Structures are given as C-alpha cells and as structure tokens.
Structure 1
Amino acid sequence: MAQISATEQPHMKQIDLTTLNLQQLGTLKQQLDQELDLFQESLTSLKIAQQKFQTSNESLECFDSSIEGKEIMVPLTGSMYVPGKLVDTSNVIIDIGTKYYVEKDIPQARSYFQRKTKFVTEQMEKIQYLGLEKSKIRDAIVEIIQLKINQQQPSQA
C-alpha cells in the first residue's frame, strides 16, 4: 500500500498534486479518508486502553492492610461475580494481556500501570500527529479538486 506524507522521505518520491487528473485526485482523497478513519479507530481503541490502565492504577489506592479480611465481590466475567475475602492486600494479580496474569506487589503494579499509560499516551500522540499531517494533505487535495472543477466549468460553458 502506498504511503502519503507531507514530509519528504528518502524512500518516497514527491508528486506535484496539480499534475494529477480528477480521477487520480479522487482516488488519493479516498485513500486518505480511509487512513484517517483507521487512525480515528486506533485512537478510540487506545483511549479505551489508556482509561483502563488509569482506572486500574487508581483502584490500587484503596489497597492497604486495613481492608484485609473484608468481603468483596470478585468478577469472573463482565456480568458474573462471586463472593470472596481479601487475604493478602500487599499483592495483586494483574492482567498483562492475552489472558496472562502476573502477581505483583502494589508498588510494582502501580509502576506497571503508569508505564503502560505513558506508552499508550505516546502512541496516541504519534497517531494524532500523523492524522493531522494526513488531514492537511487531504485538505490540499480537496482544494486542488475544487480548483480543477472550477477550471473545467468555464471551458464547458
């Protein structure tokens, strides 16, 4: 799949958009629209992941020795819970992805969630930058399409 970028890259060739015909410009615009949609979907997924990591980190705030022995409801699925008792409040089991779980102490778990939140945030910033770049190119293509359509109208009249 061809890449479209406003910044010059050594492995890419530069094309003057004004030399393309309307059909080529339309195809290019459609490709950019698809890429922008993909970026938006990726941002939405990353935002959900970011919120989950932040929520998990915040939930660690209530873990201390004073809640040891208290009864809680343990989630088995998104809608099924079973009663349980807190036995060890200095360690937690965290989901590290693809159904793998690891036992960590509270400071390690906080550090893990903070690292993951930071990583996801950095990825979101990269995607937002790329999306902005692609959006500028798309706007330039739309302008050129409009210019070419306006140039064709007087010749047809």
Structure 2
Amino acid sequence: MATVSAAPAPGLQQIDLSKLNIQQLAQLKQQLDQELNVLQESLHTLKIAQGKFVESGESVEKMTPDIKGRTILVPLTGSMYVPGIIADTENVIIDIGTGYYAQKDIEGAKDYFKRKVQFVTEQMEKIQMLGMEKSKIREAICTMMEMKLHAQAQAQKPSSS
C-alpha cells in the first residue's frame, strides 16, 4: 500500500496518513473543509475591501482643479445622499478605518489607496497559497480514505464467499 503523508504549515510535524484510521481521516478532512471555508470567506471579504480601495483611488484620481465648484451628491448613509459643492480640490478626507478619518493632499491619498490595494492583494495571495496547500492535503486524505475503504472491502470479500 502506498504511503501518503500530509505536511502542515512549517513548524508543525508531518502526519503519516496511512497510520490513521478511517474515522480519524474523516475528522481531519472535516476540519480541513471548515478551514477551507474560512479561507474562502476571508478571500471574499478581502476582495470586497480591495474593490473599495480601488474605487476610492479612482475617485481621488478624478479630483482635479477644474471640478472646483461642481455640485455632487454626498452620501450620508448607504441609501441617503445630500447635494454638496466641491470647495477644495487639493485635499480630501479619507476613512482610515475604525471610525477614524485623515485629511490628505491628493498625492498622499493616491499613495495611501495604492498601498492599501497592494497590501490587501498580498494578503489575498497568502490566503490563496494557504488554501492551495490545504486543498492538496485534503486530496491526500481523500485518496488515503479511498485506499483504506477499498482495502477494507477486499478484506471482507473472501470471508463472505
């Protein structure tokens, strides 16, 4: 019988899947399924954040001196807007998280959103790599479960004859 092993994250010991029984393999698979779901949810959340940072960066790009004095709609809530007039095209107030805002000049705001998009993208890449590793381990577990179930079926076959 072939030995399939799964190596978890660096620093943790390697598990020889061939030494686990079917129930232990099923529990390990279930745990990996849950972890993969959490990673998928994290990726989805990061994708939304990335989109908001990209959108904000694009909005800052549109802040040029020629739009000074234009009327715009200012969001008060997700579904309520009030008219406003652009008074300053050289500075913006940006949401930096957890209820805090900062005033930045246009170049500073562009740089801020560029760095945020880059950071979120890097985090997404890390999560994707981790997800791929966990998927490989899950596949190895499924393979070992199939092998053990097949061996179990073969062992029961002669006794029933």
Q: TM-score, normalised by structure 2?
A: 0.91
What do the CA deviations read for 1:110-137 (whole angstroms, capped 9, x no partner)? 0000000000000000000000000000
The residue aligned with 1:98 is 98
What do the CA deviations read for 1:60-119 (whole angstroms, capped 9, x no partner)? 121111111111111001100111111111111100011111110100000000000000
Q: How many residues align?
A: 152
Identical aligned residues as a percent: 60
Query: Rg bigger for which structure?
Result: 2
Amino acid in structure 1 at the alignment position of 2:10 = Q
The residue aligned with 2:3 is none
The residue aligned with 2:27 is 27
Amino acid in structure 2 at the alignment position of 1:96 = I
Q: 2:86 matched to 1:67?
A: no
**Conserved? CA contact 1:6–1:134, under 8 Å:** no
The residue aligned with 2:47 is 47
Report the CA distance between 1:6 and its aligned residue.
Answer: 2.5
The residue aligned with 2:7 is 6
**Conserved? CA contact 2:8–2:14, under 8 Å:** no
CA distance in 2, matches of 1:13, 1:56: 44
Runs ≥4 residues deviating over 4 A: none
Report the CA distance between 1:9 and its aligned residue.
Answer: 3.3
The residue aligned with 1:15 is 15
- What is the root-mean-square deviation in Å for CA atoms of aligned residues? 1.2
**Conserved? CA contact 1:8–1:14, under 8 Å:** no
CA distance in 2, matches of 1:24, 1:95: 47
Report the CA distance between 1:14 and its aligned residue.
Answer: 2.0
**Conserved? CA contact 1:72–1:86, under 8 Å:** yes
Tell me the SS of whatever aligns to 1:73. strand
Amino acid in structure 1 at the alignment position of 2:152 = Q
CA distance in 1, matches of 2:128, 2:64: 39
CA distance in 1, matches of 2:135, 2:42: 16
Report the CA distance between 1:156 and its aligned residue.
Answer: 1.6
The residue aligned with 1:119 is 119
**Conserved? CA contact 1:65–1:89, under 8 Å:** yes
In structure 2, relative to structure 1, the CA distance for the partners of 1:8 and 1:71 (3 Å cut) is: closer
The residue aligned with 1:155 is 155
The residue aligned with 2:86 is 86
